[in-house]
Amino acid sequence: MKEFFRTKGSVLFILVIILTGLVSFRFLSDPDIGTHLRTGKWIIENHRIPDKDTFTYTCTDHDYIDSYWLFQVLVYSVYRISGYSGLSIFVFLLSMLLFYLVMLRLQRAGVPLFIASCVLVIGFLCIESRITLRPEMFTFLFMTGMLLVLDRYYQEKRKNLYFLPLIMLFWCNMHGLFILGFLLIGAYFISLYLRDRKVDPYFLLWIGLSVLICFVNPYSYKLLAYPFLLNTRLSNDNIFHQHIRELTSFIRLDHFIFNDYLFILLFSMAFLFILLTWKKRKIHEFILLIVFFYLAWVSIRNIGLFSVVSIPVLCISARDFRKWRQPWIANKIGNARMRMISTILFVLSVIFIIGTGMRIFTNSYYLANNSYNKTGIGVDDRHLPVKAVAFLNTYHLNGRIINSLSLGGWLSWGLPQPVFIDGRLEVVGESLYNEVRNSWSGGLGNLIRKYEPSLIIYTYDQYYPWTIQLSRMPGWRLIYLDGFTAIFAKNDYAEEIPVLDFSRITQQFNIGTYTDEQEKAILNLEPLSGFSGWVQGFYKRPDYPVSDLSNMASFCLQMNNKQTALKLFVELLRRTNGGSRYVYYVLADIYRSQNEKEKAAICYKRILSFDPGNRIARLALESITSEQVTSKSTRVEDHRENDAILSFNEGNMKYQQGDINGAIASYKKAIELNPSYFKAYNNLGILKATVMKNYKDALEDFTKAIEIKPDYDDAYLGRGTCWFKLNETEKACHDWEKALSLGNRQVGKMIRLYCK
């Protein structure tokens, strides 16, 4: 049996190394890369560390504690030597070094390769989203290196603790999470004290030196307080915690992706095996597992930290359990069955690793996880505004800009002028971010009046309310558009650059003119089954231009250029073989507005084919074909009520297209046509609460829906959430409990978290 595990473990381990290398070999796509390069260049050119913000014109008086300065100097130095390709390779090398250090810990602990390989697959896939050009990579390395030192001292009393202050010296000058080093040291110190029943003076000496060495930084004691500033982002009432996904609590995720299930599996296995072998566990293992699990639970960006800590604990616990229970299990079921079960586990593990590797190579794995990562080398110009920056530099457009947050880092690196905002939230502060947030609900004009920009550069798939507002501002013109970035210029700025001709977009995708019959044939295309599409992900790379096509089509619709949008959406259906289901909702609306009833009817039929319970689509189809609208449970008594339903349907479609103001107008029209339309009131409240953050007005809409239909559980859920956002917890809990009593399943989590 030992020979079996040794042989099979070697095979698995080789596959895991290949998979880890594949995961680590990816394009540069993190939005903060530009900030790190720009700052590293500034430090080298100016021979000093910044203490005020020099990269945004809005925050020049804000203090800048650059806890990443050494990382940024290193990154810029690598870039000067080897360019963007070198930076991709640099990330790959850092990831493989982390894998080596984790494996070194497992090897020294005597963990069998079979166990180590199985756990490393899960653990590194949990870390996968954090394998990027960020100082966090060095935190992973410093943590693992420090744990190696502490393990050897705890187990062998090796006099190697002089590495601790050395690690802390580099750590505190590379990443604000250096404070975690004291947590690791403290856990082992407590564990040693409880084991030996005395204070270890040698250990205490090096703890003191590790603390003192952290004062060797450009900001002295201020840097030591910096991690506590970062910690404020984890509170529920912090605006960054509410809006930045990576700061979101795991329990507040609206849906899980594959990596989230892997995290659940990892922590479940870790706690299970540590409980099964609790007599053999060390105090520091309990402390670290619990503390880092808490950090991962309150913010999903910390899942990588938990993985680094939990992988060795899980492996060692599984090793101990195997030693303790394997003879008993083998005696109960027999060696032959034991070997058969092990063979099945081995085969399943091999299939999983190879299959995952294939999907990572094709990028289908990342796409399924809603990740912008891609396998490759260099810069990902489909996620970073490389082309937009090239356009601005080509035409020497150096005027003042307003930009979306995620573009700020790369713009500050690629453009000569300072930017409006970037991803350094600790520098930007809540006040400026609130101004940006308010601009999403009609306040862009206020930003323009206050900061007087000549250019507006933004990611239109995220900041779609800006598109709608700009389309209605006569003083601005669109001059550039790519798959995710739009640039508007003031009419009296750079007048030699004309308004973007939308016909160029259709030319870009080589879209011809389809006859009516060809267009109808495209609308009737039968998509691949979900299983067939999943199978394709093992050998076929996603068609990323399709994503650009979808984004640009939505942009054209928001700009009210329905004709171009229609061509792009039809082409999108053709390229996806009818697989982009949401397009049918959009096209149905466009065709109806153009009185093309036959094509609209085809779209409604397609909607009903994959969503047969869609009453709105059915009513619209029956209205188009002039049939009497009748069903077992409902009857539309007059055209006024029917028009209200159709307006409600239009509101839903406009919301899916990103036209928030249009959706609100449609819901209001539905209420005007049918004042007792409680669903319209409810949807109106949802938009005011979630998009506009106008909780007081949303309360009125939810209350009206409840007055019309007192047993409407969704409205109680929405109103309770508004009360919660307004710090009226008692009223929130009352509404949530009412929603629960009416059968609402979503609200149970809220009650458990916030209601006593």
Distance (Å, whole) CA 289 – CA 169? 25
Distance (Å, whole) CA 128 – CA 359? 14
Within a domain: 224 = yes
What phi, psi does 478 have (nearest 5°)? -80, 125
Please say which residue of 458, 478, 500 terminates a domain: 500
The predicted structure's pLDDT at residue 485: 95
411 & 354 share domain: no
Residue 487: beta bridge partners? 457, 480
Within a domain: 469 = yes
378: left (phi > 0), else alpha (psi -120 to 50), else beta? left
Domain count, the chain: 3
Within a domain: 46 = no
The DSSP secondary-structure symbol of 94 reads H
Which residue is listed with tokens 């899916």?
656
Instruction: Determine whether 546 is exposed, middle or buried from the number of CB atoms within 10 Å of its CB (0-12, 13-18, 19+).
Output: middle
The predicted structure's pLDDT at residue 358: 94
Within a domain: 511 = no
Strand stretches in 119-174, DSSP E? none
545: left (phi > 0), else alpha (psi -120 to 50), else beta? alpha
CATH of residue 713 = 1.25.40.10
354 & 465 share domain: no
150: left (phi > 0), else alpha (psi -120 to 50), else beta? alpha
Please say which residue of 451, 469, 500 terminates a domain: 500
The predicted structure's pLDDT at residue 637: 45
The predicted structure's pLDDT at residue 626: 54
Range of the domain at 750: 678-756
Distance (Å, whole) CA 451 – CA 456? 11
Within a domain: 468 = yes
Distance (Å, whole) CA 40 – CA 173? 13
Within a domain: 288 = no
Residues 6+ apart with CB under 8 A from 208: none
Amino acid at residue number 70: L
403 & 341 share domain: no
Q: Which stretches of the chain drop beneath a pLDDT of 70? A: 1-6, 228-247, 254, 325-335, 338, 626-642, 656-658, 745, 756
Question: Is there a contact between 699 and 691 (Cβ–Cβ < 8 Å)?
Answer: no
Distance (Å, whole) CA 270 – CA 287? 13
Q: Nearest 10 degrees: CA dihedral of 486, 490, 492, 493?
A: -60
Instruction: Determine if the pTM surpasses 0.85.
Output: no
358 & 465 share domain: no
Q: Which of 121, 32, 9 is nearest to 428 (CA)?
A: 32
* Residues, the chain: 756
What phi, psi does 557 have (nearest 5°)? -65, -40
Within a domain: 319 = no
Give the angle 427-88-388 at the CA atoms, nearest 5°: 60
190 & 228 share domain: yes
The predicted structure's pLDDT at residue 334: 63
Sign of CA dihedral 449, 455, 460, 463: negative
Indicate the helix (H) or strand (E) that contains 81: helix 69-108
477 & 349 share domain: no
DSSP SS3 for 169: helix
Question: Is there a contact between 154 and 108 (Cβ–Cβ < 8 Å)?
Answer: no
Distance (Å, whole) CA 395 – CA 484? 20
Amino acid at residue number 5: F
The predicted structure's pLDDT at residue 648: 83
347 & 490 share domain: no
343 & 454 share domain: no
Within a domain: 320 = no
354 & 462 share domain: no
Distance (Å, whole) CA 707 – CA 722? 17
15 & 90 share domain: yes
Structure tokens at 413: 């690196």
Distance (Å, whole) CA 647 – CA 668? 9
214 & 347 share domain: yes
Instruction: For the chain, state the CA radius of gyration.
Output: 29
What phi, psi does 658 have (nearest 5°)? 90, 5
358 & 418 share domain: no
Please say which residue of 480, 500, 520 terminates a domain: 500
CA 97 to chain CA centroid, Å, is 25
